[in-house]
Amino acid sequence: MTTSSLQTSVAVFALVALHVSALDTFIAAVYEHAVILPEKTETPVSQDNALLLMNKNIDILEKAIKQAAQQGAEIIVTPEDALYGWSFTRETIFPYLEDIPDPRVNWIPCQDPHKFGHTPVQVRLSCLAKDNSIYVLANIGDKKPCKSNDPTCPSNGYYQYNTNVVYDKKGQLVARYHKYHLYSEPQFDVPEKPELVTFNTNFGNLDECFAPFDSH
């Protein structure tokens, strides 16, 4: 395993006070860390090995989430590619992906971990939000099966999306956003159309849940 050379070698943690309509202000935490990267390979690793690496990065995020909650943050925003890095092909990213449902299913992964199949990353992120009573915005990979009669269906039978998710203080999935403007990301597909994602909180309505390059 290696650590990112493109990010800082130490964790960066910031608390920001923002103005919203529901409350006078709320505290948001923004976090960055040196990602533990997989070894470069042209052959996909096993799902177990992929999860092992992601859990090592989630271990780092867990400390930041707890610290943010202890300092009064209502929400923490974690980095893009923070769970596994960015240098992949369509084939090598696949073991890191999970099927992320539409938030309208009202799902709390921490309480119902097997409802949508094998989703250990979503379960752990949900539990971190729930156990620390904080909104958690995280970036993970989504896979969506498609049918062979779909003319744009990729050869492996799945659309693969760079995805932001948000879990509320109860651990419920409240937002899912598929990145539209990809930058040197051959492992992911562009969604059919740009998405405008909003979610309600006890401290106001947050209008955007985007990834870098989609903010421009």
Q: Which two tokens stand for residue 119?
A: 């989703």
User: Does 184 reside within a domain?
Assistant: yes
pTM value is 0.88
Q: What range does the domain containing 149 cover?
A: 2-206
User: Does 214 reside within a domain?
Assistant: no
Q: What single-letter DSSP state applies at residue 138?
A: E
**Residue 133 and residue 179 in contact, taking contact as beta carbons nearer than 8 Å:** no
User: Does 114 reside within a domain?
Assistant: yes
pLDDT mean over 190-196? 91
Q: Which two tokens stand for residue 48?
A: 């177990």
User: Does 213 reside within a domain?
Assistant: no
Q: How far apart are CA 163 and CA 26, in angstroms?
A: 25
**For 162-182, what is each residue's pLDDT tens digit?**
999 999 999 999 999 999 999
Query: pLDDT at residue 15 above 80?
Result: no
Nearest by Cα to 180 from 144, 149, 211, 135: 211
CA angle 174, 178, 182 (to 5 degrees): 150
Query: pLDDT at residue 6 above 90?
Result: no
**Residue 41 and residue 96 in contact, taking contact as beta carbons nearer than 8 Å:** no
User: Does 86 reside within a domain?
Assistant: yes
CATH number at residue 160: 3.60.110.10
- The position carrying tokens 């903010």 is 215
Helix, strand or coil, per DSSP, at residue 178: strand
User: Does 216 reside within a domain?
Assistant: no
Percentage of residues in the chain with pLDDT exceeding 70?
84
Q: Which two tokens stand for residue 196?
A: 């405008």
User: Does 193 reside within a domain?
Assistant: yes
Q: Where are the beta strands (DSSP E) in the chain?
A: 2-3, 12-18, 26-32, 36-37, 75-77, 135-145, 158-167, 173-178, 199-201, 204-206
**For 120-157, what is each residue's pLDDT tens digit?**
999 999 999 999 999 999 999 999 999 989 999 999 99
Least confident of 5-14, 150-159, 182-191, 206-215: 5-14
User: Does 50 reside within a domain?
Assistant: yes
Pairing of β 158-167 and β 36-37: unpaired
Query: pLDDT at residue 209 above 70?
Result: no
pLDDT mean over 62-77? 95
CB-facing half-sphere around the CA of 95: CA atoms within 13 A: 18
Count of structural domains within the chain: 1
